[in-house]
Structure 1
Amino acid sequence: MGIKARLIIMNFLQFFVWGSWLISLGNYMGGVLGFSGLQIGSIYTTMGVASLFMPGLMGIVADRWINAERVLGICHIVGALFLIYASTIQDYSLFYFAMLFHSFAYMPTIALNNSVSYTVLEKKGYNIVKDFPPIRVWGTVGFICAMWVVDICGWTQSPYQLYVSAGAALFLGVYAFTMPAAPPLMVQAKKSWSSSLGLDAFVLFKQRKMAVFFIFAMLLGAALQITNAFGGPFLDDFKSAYPDSFAVQHPNLLLSISQISETLFILSIPFFLSRFGIKRVMMFSMLAWALRFSLFGFGNPDDRLYLLIISMVIYGMAFDFFNISGSLFVEREADPTIRSSAQGLFMIMCNGVGAFIGGLASGWIVDFFTVNGVKDWQSIWFTFAAYAIILAVIFPFAFRYKHDPMILNDSKE
């Protein structure tokens, strides 16, 4: 089997593990375990907590002592064990800590997966910029397939979704050990601890435009956590009014349209960045989040199903235009000597701090609009939409950046 095919399998499984439960676990926690909105949100914040430091720590291990593919394999095997343990728990506190330790193991694997892919492609003489994206897109395909498997098997409100994820993680953990070696490099081994953790990138906060950019990236990361945690429970609450509707019977199939849309909008990013620049592209993302949440507020699985479908399609713009475009912006603006650390800082702000804030705040809002166990979803989604609109109004005044439409990337001031 060719090395590209092997990397496709690795990337497919990497996100299959995540997609098996990320979107549907809220259904299981709320509908079966009876957790409150705040409790559901807090469990989703475990990914944010882990993203604050675990990718850096595991990066140190891979940089200094152990091959990256072996660290990747160990993390997936450990994470699988905690998922299996979580599937047996009904107590909130124990479930929280099981998912927290799973996040400690899983979140570093996103960066490790990329590191192994880059190293292998480079050793084989491939162009990383050209050859990695077609491989990475199979990760999104894996995420979608996992959602479909869980949905079609009727496991969106079952602990079996955790078993599916754990099984894939165990397989990937063993598979990672068979990948070509990605050993520690002597140059990397001489980096300081602060550099390995990405702390040297904090110098970017001295630039006003970068400080503002990172703050809004964090706030948009919170918006992403909202849709991850409560998209499934929202659709599930229609089961009494529309028990036979497609959206209630197959919530993951409907929600997977968001990931399909994501793969398509990735292809449009070069055009939008070249034509409009990062400032307007980020504003498009904020307005897309506001529209997505608003359509959730107006939609239902019956005569307004089309509004929910449109909302799923808009997700691709909402996510890619701040996550992918933001990463490209950081890549250009950061000094080459701290480029990797700057990408780590961007992940910390979005998937760490942003996810933590989004999980707690969204859980509190859901509980605030819940009376006698009944959630006022329209008020909940309109509150989230108002949040995104406020960001879109403030951002252009706070973020000062001049765009030159004649070049692909934005010009520095």
Structure 2
Amino acid sequence: MAMIRTRLSIMMFLQFFIWGGWFVTLGTFLANNLSASGGQIGMAFSTQSWGAIIAPFIIGLIADRYFNAERILAVLHLAGAALMYGLYMASDFSTFYPLVLMYMIVYMPTLALVNSVSFRQMSDPGQEFAKIRVWGTIGWIIAGLGISYLFAWDSSQGIADGMLRNTFLMCAIASLALGLYSFSLPATPPKADGPMGLKEVLGLDALALLKDRNYAIFFIASILICIPLAFYYQNANPFLAEIGVANPTGKMTLGQVSEVLFMLLLPVFIHRFGIKKTLLIGMLAWALRYALFAFGNADEMVFMLLIGIALHGVCYDFFFVTGQIYTDARAGEKFKSSAQGMITLATYGVGMLIGFWVAGHITDHFSTNGAHDWQGIWMFPAAFAIAVLALFFLTFKNDKAAAPTPNQSVKV
């Protein structure tokens, strides 16, 4: 079992090394090297959402029914390596965009596939999965530290010299390695049988949960809070680089370190304070982080930026992971899997698609001749998060849905 755990950990490490190795610096690269507008950068980031929307078709209609998960994982990463090399070679946005769209369509399904391969090898996923999944977060952190501190691709000189382009080549090599490595992973044959329609694949049979007023309010809040989330993904790295923060990508790995730490605290917090207060703290953290970004700077107020980055664990874990736990508790046995599919489609699909569109237009609104009014940009998602928080506070009633006890593990 130890050998299998090691092999799965390597898989997770490479899976998230690839994503963290180019996605964090994407906005900075597009703005500085391809002269992309805020709207175009938003389009590029929204490919993640299109990938999330299309992924259930690949997993539900193909992977779960006809082919081994590890073989599909291998093929998708090999295709991803070729597309990533195409991104490395792209010289303008019109060439770059269709390639990044195709890449995210093949990458997003692999997030579910690595989980599937892992779960099928475990006798107690609740206890074992976190120890393997955490290597994915470590992979993301190592990618960021390498970009900043080993290669200095995101330094002022590195950006000016176009060195961020090398992130795509690095990830193409890592994707090729994972594609070949995946063929050696434990066999994970399909298990689904019998008829399965589009409704089941997309998790739409779980829409019955929306008849519950409390869950419907949570569902709407989840989509709305994705708008502030999109601002972080799209603008945080370009913002830090533009105002002169040294090693911005490396410093942003504080967010992943924070995510791991707060993940460990989350079950205790939910058990003690309940679902509503935990969700409210998550939303409040989004508003606080953007206020810190709005009023911090690269000099004497740089500590405000670092605190804002470190709040990522609270922002993400206390709202999105808590939301997954709440959804699981509300769904019951009949809709557990489809409910998770529905909330993922709503947030990473629809919510983030809207969020990147809004973030792109707000960024363009506060941009003049390539320079940005970052305070104006960051105050928008801060105010928006406060509005969502107020709506949720006034309409969501305390919920007695089951929550994990302090001794239960939460998937990282």
Fold-level similarity (TM above 0.5): yes
Match of 1:323 among 315, 320, 332: 320
Secondary structure at the counterpart of residue 89 of structure 2:
coil
CA distance in 1, matches of 2:49, 2:402: 36
Unaligned runs of 5+ in 1: 240-246
Match of 1:200 among 196, 199, 205: 205
Q: CA offsets, 1:245-286, max 9 Å, x none?
A: xx23x1111111111111100001111111111111111011
1:386 aligns with 2:383: yes
Question: What is the aligned residue count?
Answer: 396
Shift in CA distance, 168/202, structure 1 to aligned 2, threshold 3 Å: same
Tell whether the 8 Å contact from 1:217 to 1:350 is kept in structure 2 after alignment: yes
Amino acid of the structure 1 residue aligned with 2:204: L
CA distance in 1, matches of 2:345, 2:233: 18
Amino acid of the structure 2 residue aligned with 1:302: D
1:85 aligns with 2:86: yes
2:409 is matched with which residue? none
1:242 is matched with which residue? none
Match of 1:176 among 173, 176, 182: 182
Amino acid of the structure 2 residue aligned with 1:232: N
> What is the Cα deviation at residue 316 of structure 1?
0.9
Amino acid of the structure 2 residue aligned with 1:233: P
CA distance in 1, matches of 2:286, 2:146: 27
Amino acid of the structure 2 residue aligned with 1:174: L
CA distance in 1, matches of 2:81, 2:243: 32
Q: How do 1:13-412 and structure 2 match up within 5 A?
A: 13-121=14-122, 126-152=123-149, 153-156=151-154, 157=159, 158-185=164-191, 187-239=192-244, 247-248=245-246, 250-403=247-400, 408=405
CA distance in 2, matches of 1:68, 1:405: 32
Amino acid of the structure 2 residue aligned with 1:181: A
> What is the Cα deviation at residue 82 of structure 1?
1.2
Unaligned runs of 5+ in 2: 407-412
CA distance in 2, matches of 1:2, 1:180: 11
Amino acid of the structure 1 residue aligned with 2:16: F
Secondary structure at the counterpart of residue 61 of structure 2:
helix
Q: CA offsets, 1:348-397, max 9 Å, x none?
A: 11211111111110110011011232210011111111111111111112
Secondary structure at the counterpart of residue 151 of structure 1:
helix
Q: CA offsets, 1:117-158, max 9 Å, x none?
A: 00122xxxx311001111111110111101111222122342
Secondary structure at the counterpart of residue 179 of structure 1:
coil
> What is the Cα deviation at residue 189 of structure 1?
4.7
CA distance in 2, matches of 1:342, 1:390: 26
Tell whether the 8 Å contact from 1:55 to 1:109 is kept in structure 2 after alignment: no
Tell whether the 8 Å contact from 1:275 to 1:405 is kept in structure 2 after alignment: no
Shift in CA distance, 145/188, structure 1 to aligned 2, threshold 3 Å: farther
CA distance in 1, matches of 2:185, 2:405: 36
Amino acid of the structure 2 residue aligned with 1:366: T
Amino acid of the structure 1 residue aligned with 2:378: W
CA distance in 2, matches of 1:314, 1:40: 24
Tell whether the 8 Å contact from 1:60 to 1:197 is kept in structure 2 after alignment: no
CA distance in 1, matches of 2:238, 2:75: 33
Q: Normalising to structure 1: TM-score of the pair?
A: 0.92
> What is the Cα deviation at residue 47 of structure 1?
0.5
Tell whether the 8 Å contact from 1:198 to 1:341 is kept in structure 2 after alignment: yes
> What is the Cα deviation at residue 184 of structure 1?
1.0
> What is the Cα deviation at residue 407 of structure 1?
7.6
Shift in CA distance, 59/149, structure 1 to aligned 2, threshold 3 Å: farther
CA distance in 2, matches of 1:287, 1:97: 36
CA distance in 1, matches of 2:194, 2:174: 32
Amino acid of the structure 2 residue aligned with 1:178: S
Tell whether the 8 Å contact from 1:220 to 1:286 is kept in structure 2 after alignment: yes
Shift in CA distance, 39/217, structure 1 to aligned 2, threshold 3 Å: same
CA distance in 1, matches of 2:271, 2:351: 27
CA distance in 1, matches of 2:66, 2:118: 19
Tell whether the 8 Å contact from 2:29 to 2:165 is kept in structure 1 after alignment: yes
CA distance in 2, matches of 1:404, 1:180: 37
Tell whether the 8 Å contact from 1:289 to 1:388 is kept in structure 2 after alignment: yes
Amino acid of the structure 2 residue aligned with 1:182: T
CA distance in 1, matches of 2:358, 2:102: 22
> What is the Cα deviation at residue 236 of structure 1?
1.6
CA distance in 2, matches of 1:149, 1:406: 38
CA distance in 2, matches of 1:387, 1:196: 32
Tell whether the 8 Å contact from 1:213 to 1:399 is kept in structure 2 after alignment: yes
Amino acid of the structure 2 residue aligned with 1:236: A
CA distance in 2, matches of 1:406, 1:260: 24
